[in-house]
Amino acid sequence: MCFSAEASFIAGGALTVIGAATIKKTTQKSQLWFASIPLVFGVQQISEGILWLTLPHPEMIYTQRIATYIFIFFAQVIWPFIVPFGVLMLDKKMNGK
């Protein structure tokens, strides 16, 4: 979000709830990866909120590093994998493969 800790936590909480509901609504395993996108984004937003809170406090460097690693892991590993793989799984199901 890049606005504030509050915005990140509100977005993270809302997306986490929406993601859990979306996953619960899935009827086929092929939908699960794509349905988990809001939940994954919610977790990333919560880690960003933690970063907002820890950046002004040098004594919280270890918490800041952990939150940074989580955020970067989502940005560099999870997103490049989950979106194409989720769409691929849906495509296979829709094409009857």
pLDDT in tens, 47-76: 999 999 999 999 999 999 999 999 999 999
> Which residue range is the domain that position 80 belongs to?
5-94
Q: What is the mean pLDDT of the chain?
A: 92
pLDDT tens per residue across span 7-52: 999 999 999 999 999 999 999 998 999 999 999 999 999 999 999 9
- Position 31: which residue type? Q
Question: How many other CB atoms are there within 10 angstroms of residue 37's CB atom?
Answer: 19
Which pLDDT does position 92 carry in this prediction?
A: 77
Burial of 96 per CB tally in 10 Å (0-12, 13-18, 19+):
exposed
pLDDT > 70? residue 1: no
| Residue 44 in tokens | 């990333």
Instruction: Please state the domain count of the chain.
Output: 1
CA 83, 89, 95, 97: dihedral to nearest 10 degrees? 150
Q: How far is it, in rounded angstroms, from Cα 15 to Cα 21?
A: 10
pLDDT bucket at 96, cuts 50 / 70 / 90: low
Which tokens is 96 given? 């009857």
